[in-house]
Amino acid sequence: MANAVTKETLIGEIVNKHPETVDILLSIGMHCLGCPASQMESLEEACAVHGIPAEQVVDAINAKIAQ
């Protein structure tokens, strides 16, 4: 999958390239999506801050993108 999101994908890149996945990020408590600092944070880093397993979020985002 060429557009697959990984743990290393930046939050800003996810939000910009795949806005349809924002609801997933918001639903797990990532309400800081508009913060400039979060834009340069990897999905793995953001998940660690929120205490969420990154692989679960990666799977959910990629499933949404594939729809």
Residue 44's pLDDT is 95
Q: Could you report how far apart the first and last alpha carbons of the chain are, in Å?
A: 12
pTM of the model: 0.87
- Residue 6 CA from chain centroid, whole number: 9
Q: Is 11 in contact with 41 (CB distance < 8 Å)?
A: yes
Query: What is the DSSP secondary structure assignment for residue 33, as one 8-state letter?
Result: T
- Vertex 33: Cα angle to 28 and 34 (nearest 5): 155
Mean pLDDT by 10 residues, the chain (67 residues): 84 92 91 78 92 95 94
Structural domain boundaries in the chain: 11-66
What pLDDT sits at residue 2?
55
Q: What is the pLDDT of residue 3?
A: 65
